[in-house]
């Protein structure tokens, strides 16, 4: 919680909050583009295509409508209609507000030329006029001479979501700059200027004063641009011996490492809540189910501790995956490493990585560490979805095993009697989205040629959403287990009395008296049929009725036919005997005792 909270604070304080993004999933609202601009964007001559001859107005409009070759000529369309097609507003998207021309022009500039190099404030970026070819700016934009359409810019940029990496990005840059100075690749003066600038940027971000610009594409360029505006040439030297490819891989690993640590803290908290609830119900008897049919009596404490066992493995999986997350890719540069005399181990130590990655091509391209995390997260959600499903069933009056506190439920707008278990249903539902994110990352990685491909920009939103979803789900389920769940022990016990739950105990009793298990099974099956005919539980059959099925049955049979006798007899490690449940709780508490 601690760390995830800090990470999301970066975002929450920014103009586009996560919530805001949610309204139009992932995508920020478009800026509106004035008429003339819009027309230019649409026409947007493809590279290599000959310049168009001047086209009379009507002709131009026809191009805008984008007639596919072979399609019949459209009938003339009234002006207003045509314009609507040009703007191509997706169905359901809100109409654009109109914005002043200058704004719109900024949107169509090539990202890295949008702000003059010397600009002291990226917010005051004054782009060259739209018609001016983009001047070389010392970054990749130097080789480009065409402006980028607003759509292309939006399509290409990741700043709306990857600014969540800002904290990690700054940490990585700090360590990189220190190392560059130590190795004499930049001067100590430059390193100090970089440090000063990064500290200032960190403060601006924390205070919500930093202006993120889509024109600068991603978190890396946004921070670098601001740094250069603040400290001048030293800022431009920061990118020596690195690439955004190893930078983003490093950021992601740093971010995920913190997220894993925070989720483990939350998982431990949920385990503790389960222990407390289980400890209070080590003797509470309920029916255990297979095929959702009453099978054998168990204790509610034992049932709860089954989830604890799942969560214990989930924590192990996170810890294991963290080992492979915690390797430093920085130094791999774009793909082949760098010719500068860098010290990767030094950077790894500064950033708390356990080791450095072994191959530069692999390090900039593979996201298997994120996929492993997604898989572990999906399993957490699968486990919680099972618990959630049981809560949905148990809170139904037909079961009546538990009562959920009102604050975890909602009513119906039409049926006054309803109390719906929304929280468990949502937990069940949210497992689908996390499983979906795992699938997304697997498919994203599949068949990518070495090394870095821009596909990988798509790794972030699923990853962020998985962490956010898990953080929310864990907090809510922990609260529910700790304070919102009342076990109706009488109902549970009554249900255990109803399904001939001790039939296996009767069979075991006969086996102890020398009957072969298969024969004992058959004897008990017939006794169960008799109980069904009498509409009572097996344990309620009188002794003489039982003895008709086997003369070996004595009065002592009721010792095993009772629910308490049944659970007490499962007295081994992993069994449901109350003493064993208490021991399991103690062991689990002891195991996590050292964890925060």
Which residues are known to be catalytic? 291, 412
**Rounded to the nearest whole angstrom, what is the least distance from the CB of residue 149 to ligand ARG in the complex?**
18
**Rounded to the nearest whole angstrom, what is the least distance from the CB of residue 123 to ligand ARG in the complex?**
21
Angstrom distance (rounded) from CA 193 to CA 450 = 36
And the tokens for 370? 């994120």
**Rounded to the nearest whole angstrom, what is the least distance from the CB of residue 440 to ligand ARG in the complex?**
15
**Rounded to the nearest whole angstrom, what is the least distance from the CB of residue 250 to ligand ARG in the complex?**
11
Backbone φ, ψ for residue 295 (5° rounding): -115, -70
- Residue closer to ligand ARG by CB (options 122, 297) is 122
Stretch that binds ligand ARG, among 63-71, 118-126, 452-460, 531-539 (CB under 6 A): 452-460
- Residue closer to ligand ARG by CB (options 142, 400) is 142
Q: Which of 457, 550, 566, 576 binds ligand ARG (CB under 6 A)?
A: 457
Angstrom distance (rounded) from CA 421 to CA 401 = 14
Q: Which residue has the tokens 């200058």?
A: 102
Q: Do the strands 485-487 and 402-404 form a parallel or antiparallel pair, or are they unpaired?
A: antiparallel
Q: What's the CA dihedral at 486, 490, 493, 495 to 10 degrees?
A: -90
> Residue 356 in 3-state DSSP?
strand
- Residue closer to ligand ARG by CB (options 61, 367) is 367
> Residue 328 in 3-state DSSP?
strand
- Residue closer to ligand ARG by CB (options 178, 456) is 456
**H/E segment holding residue 294:** strand 293-299
CA distances 319 to 270, 285, 325, 374, 424, Å, are 17, 35, 10, 13, 27
Which residues 207-246 are close enough to bind ligand ARG by CB under 6 A? 218, 244-245
Angstrom distance (rounded) from CA 259 to CA 142 = 37
Stretch that binds ligand ARG, among 127-135, 255-263, 341-349, 451-459 (CB under 6 A): 451-459
Looking at residue 33, the DSSP 8-state letter turns out to be -
**Residue 284 within binding range of ligand ARG, rule CB under 6 A:** no
**Residue 456 within binding range of ligand ARG, rule CB under 6 A:** yes
Angstrom distance (rounded) from CA 443 to CA 475 = 30
Q: Which of 454, 518, 572, 590 binds ligand ARG (CB under 6 A)?
A: 454
Rg of the chain over Cα atoms, rounded to whole angstroms, equals: 33
Which residues 476-535 are close enough to bind ligand ARG by CB under 6 A? none
And the tokens for 581? 């449940």
**Rounded to the nearest whole angstrom, what is the least distance from the CB of residue 464 to ligand ARG in the complex?**
12
Q: What's the CA dihedral at 324, 325, 329, 335 to 10 degrees?
A: 80
Q: Do the strands 293-299 and 285-290 form a parallel or antiparallel pair, or are they unpaired?
A: antiparallel
Angstrom distance (rounded) from CA 2 to CA 444 = 30
Q: How many residues bind ligand ARG (CB under 6 A)?
A: 10
Which residues 141-160 are close enough to bind ligand ARG by CB under 6 A? 158
Residues engaged in binding ligand ARG (CB under 6 A): 158, 162, 218, 244-245, 248, 452, 454, 456-457
């Amino acid at each position: 919680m601690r760390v995830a909270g800090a990470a999301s604070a970066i975002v929450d304080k920014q103009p586009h909050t996560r919530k805001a993004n949610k309204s139009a999933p992932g995508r920020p609202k478009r800026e509106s583009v004035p008429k003339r601009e819009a027309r230019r964007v649409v026409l947007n001559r493809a590279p290599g295509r000959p310049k168009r001859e001047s086209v009379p107005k009507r002709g131009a409009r026809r191009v805008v409508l984008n007639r596919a070759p072979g399609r019949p000529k459209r009938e003339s369309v009234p002006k207003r209609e045509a314009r609507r097609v040009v703007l191509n507003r997706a169905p359901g998207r809100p109409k654009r507000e109109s914005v002043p021309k200058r704004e719109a022009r900024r949107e169509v500039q090539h990202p890295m030329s949008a702000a003059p190099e010397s600009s002291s404030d990226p917010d005051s970026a004054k782009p060259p006029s739209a018609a001016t070819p983009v001047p070389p700016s010392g970054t990749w934009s130097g080789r480009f001479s065409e402006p980028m359409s607003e759509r292309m810019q939006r399509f290409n940029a990741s700043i709306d979501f990857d600014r969540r990496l800002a904290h990690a990005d700054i940490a990585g840059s700090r360590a990189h700059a220190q190392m560059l100075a130590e190795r004499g690749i930049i001067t100590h003066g430059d390193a100090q200027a970089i440090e000063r600038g990064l500290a200032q940027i960190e403060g601006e971000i924390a205070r919500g004063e930093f202006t993120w610009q889509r024109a600068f594409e991603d978190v890396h360029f946004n921070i670098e641009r601001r740094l250069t505006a603040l400290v001048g040439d030293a800022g431009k030297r920061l990118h020596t011996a690195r690439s955004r490819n190893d930078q983003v891989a490093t950021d992601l690993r740093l971010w995920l490492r913190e997220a894993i640590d925070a989720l483990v803290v939350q998982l431990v908290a949920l385990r503790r809540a389960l222990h407390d609830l289980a400890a209070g119900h080590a003797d509470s008897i309920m029916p255990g189910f297979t095929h959702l049919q009453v099978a054998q009596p168990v204790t509610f404490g034992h049932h709860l501790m089954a989830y604890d066992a799942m969560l214990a493995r989930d924590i192990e999986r996170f810890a294991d995956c963290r080992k492979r997350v915690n390797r430093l890719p920085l130094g791999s540069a774009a793909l082949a490493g760098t010719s500068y005399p860098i010290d990767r181990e030094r950077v790894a130590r500064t950033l708390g990585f356990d080791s450095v990655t072994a191959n530069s091509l692999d390090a900039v391209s593979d996201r298997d560490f994120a996929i492993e995390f997604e898989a572990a997260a999906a399993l957490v959600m699968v486990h919680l979805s099972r618990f959630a499903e049981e809560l949905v069933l148990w809170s139904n009056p037909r079961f009546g095993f538990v009562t959920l506190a009102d604050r975890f439920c909602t009513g119906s707008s039409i049926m006054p009697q309803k109390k719906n278990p929304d929280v468990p249903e949502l937990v069940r539902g949210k497992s689908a989205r996390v499983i979906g994110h795992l699938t997304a990352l697997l498919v994203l990685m599949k068949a990518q040629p070495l090394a870095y491909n821009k596909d990988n920009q798509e790794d972030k939103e699923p990853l962020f959403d998985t962490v956010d979803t898990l953080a929310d789900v864990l907090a809510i389920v922990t609260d529910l287990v700790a304070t919102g769940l009342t076990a109706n022990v009488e109902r549970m016990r009554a249900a255990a009395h109803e399904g001939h739950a001790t039939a296996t105990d009767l069979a075991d009793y006969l086996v102890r008296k020398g009957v072969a298990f298969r024969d004992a099974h058959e004897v008990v099956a017939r006794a169960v049929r008799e109980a069904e005919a009498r509409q009572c539980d097996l344990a309620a059959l009188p002794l003489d009725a039982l003895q008709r099925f086997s003369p070996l049955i004595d009065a002592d049979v009721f010792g095993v036919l009772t629910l308490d006798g049944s659970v007490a007899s499962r007295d081994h490690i992993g069994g449901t005997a109350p003493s064993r449940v208490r021991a399991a709780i103690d062991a689990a508490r002891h195991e996590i005792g050292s964890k925060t």
